[in-house]
Amino acid sequence: QKEVEQNSGPLSVPEGAIASLNCTYSDRVSQSFFWYRQYSGKSPELIMSIYSNGDKEDGRFTAQLNKASQYVSLLIRDSQPSDSATYLCAVNVYNNNDMRFGAGTRLTVKP
Amino acid sequence: DADVTQTPRNRITKTGKRIMLECSQTKGHDRMYWYRQDPGLGLRLIYYSFDVKDINKGEISDGYSVSRQAQAKFSLSLESAIPNQTALYFCATSLGTPQETQYFGPGTRLLVL
């Protein structure tokens, strides 16, 4: 089992819809969770970080964390074509020495 | 100016050659990382450094070595390049807080023939 798993997609949604991206992780002591966006040929850029159970909202983005289920998700409301990218889930264990990334989910928002 | 820079941005080399990829940062972060990215596999950690005197192997360090010349500079070397090291290589930095947000350079695209 991979440490961080994501559906590779592609996930296709119409413009204006809600895009839902999911991620599961295997290490129960994981403490920090991140969503990165990566445009084709570019470097990953941080969108959201979340450390506590529940929801965290930032503009059109909402991260949701459920540590009991070892599940973290990213919702993108009012999806725009510019949101089309690969979204990487990353997990870090407190005081651990490295971050583990999922393989990413490719999202396409169609006009 | 970019906070994390990588040179070169693209490199083509031949099997058996030794090459070096360089990373510099102006963010003042102590922690620096080297990752490679392959299609379908996501980012995998090669080496990381928490300060100039601290170097650690990551998930896939075989065939690679690193040098932390200063707080701001972290170089990755391929001692004898092989075709399966063809990948996109990213340098990243972090502040070192428990939250560990990482900031990535623009990447180096390496092709080993």
pLDDT digits (tens, 9 = 90+) for B21-38: 999 999 999 999 999 999
Residue A21 near residue A74 (C-beta atoms within 8 A) = yes
d(Cα A101, Cα B60) in Å, to the nearest integer? 14
Residues in chain A with CB shorter than 8 Å from the CB of B100 are 32, 92, 99
| pLDDT over 60 (residue A95) | no
Task: Inform me whether the pLDDT recorded for B46 exceeds 90.
Answer: yes
What share of chain A has pLDDT > 90, as a percent? 75
Within 8 A of B25 by CB-CB distance, chain A residues are none
What DSSP state is assigned to residue A52? S
pLDDT of residue A2: 67
Question: Are B100 and A42 in contact (CB < 8 Å)?
Answer: no
Give the separation between CA A20 and CA A72, rounded to whole angstroms.
11
Q: Please, is B13 exposed, middle or buried when counting C-beta atoms within 10 Å of its C-beta (0-12, 13-18, 19+)? A: middle
Whole-number average pLDDT of chain B: 92
Q: How far is it, in rounded angstroms, from Cα B67 to Cα A18?
A: 45
* Chain A (20-59) residues lying within 8 Å, Cβ to Cβ, of chain B: 31-32, 34, 42-46, 49, 51
- Residue B63's SS3 state is coil
Lowest mean pLDDT among A14-23, A63-72, B14-23, B40-49: B40-49
Residue B77 — pLDDT band, cuts 50, 70, 90?
Answer: very high
Q: How confident is the model at residue A11 (pLDDT cuts 50, 70, 90)?
A: very high
B-side interface with A, Cβ within 8 Å? 33, 40-45, 48, 50, 56, 58-59, 90, 98-107
Q: What is the mean pLDDT of residues B78-84?
A: 95
Nearest CB neighbour to B58, from listed A43, A98, A103: A98
Nearest to A101 among B42, B99, B103 (CB): B42
* pLDDT, mean of residues B25-54: 91
pLDDT grade for A108, boundaries at 50, 70 and 90: very high
Residues of B in contact with A49 (CB under 8 A): 99, 101
The residue in chain B having the minimum alpha-carbon distance to the alpha carbon of residue A106 is: B40
Q: Residue B112: how many CA atoms within 13 Å on its side-chain side?
A: 18
Q: Where are the beta strands (DSSP E) in chain B?
A: 4-7, 10-13, 19-25, 31-38, 42-51, 54-57, 64-70, 73-78, 87-94, 102-104, 108-112
**What pLDDT score does B101 carry?**
82
**pLDDT at res. B19:** 96
